[in-house]
Amino acid sequence: MPETSARALFAARLAQARQLRGLSQRALGDRMGLGKDKGSSRINRYEHQVTAIGFDNLDKLAEVLDVPIAYLVAENPAMADGILELSRADAAEQERLVLALRALMASPALAEAIARLASVPDEERTKLTEALSSLVSPPAKKRGK
């Protein structure tokens, strides 16, 4: 059974984010201001769970990797993906998405329908989304006499 300690999750997420950015351990350490030699060693120790990271370095690491701190310490891959997606939205959009998430959590049938909708081809999804939007749009306001 794979280890799921906080340190193991952090190490895996760190390695994944670093590789997705195309950075070596040395380059990442250098960008964090640790120097090439010390930085390489430090990043290696984080990724191999030899050394725990402090809050100041965690903040700097997230900044350099352009990910939220919460992504690096998420409890599972789905939560990490959700955090990353939310971080790409502005504050108003995040609030709207959280509201939508709460509605989906309250209605498993709605969540299942949205999940199925998300898996259909783009053109079909666009048509279905437009049809759904027309069903729930507020009625047009009548002009006064």
27-78 residue pLDDT tens = 999 999 998 779 899 999 999 999 999 998 999 999 999 999 999 999 888 9
Q: What's the CA gap between 132 and 127, in Å, rounded? A: 9
pLDDT interval class at 93 (50, 70, 90): very high
In the structure, what pLDDT confidence band is assigned to residue 1 with cuts at 50, 70 and 90? Answer: very low
In the numeric block, which tokens belong to residue 106? 């309250």
Q: Is the pLDDT of residue 112 over 50?
A: yes
Q: To the nearest 10°, the Cα dihedral for 51, 57, 63, 65?
A: -20
Enter the tokens of residue 134: 């027309």
Q: Domains plus CATH for the chain?
A: 6-77 (1.10.260.40), 90-136 (no CATH)
From residue 130, alpha-carbon distances to 37, 59, 68, 116, 117 in Å are 55, 41, 33, 16, 12
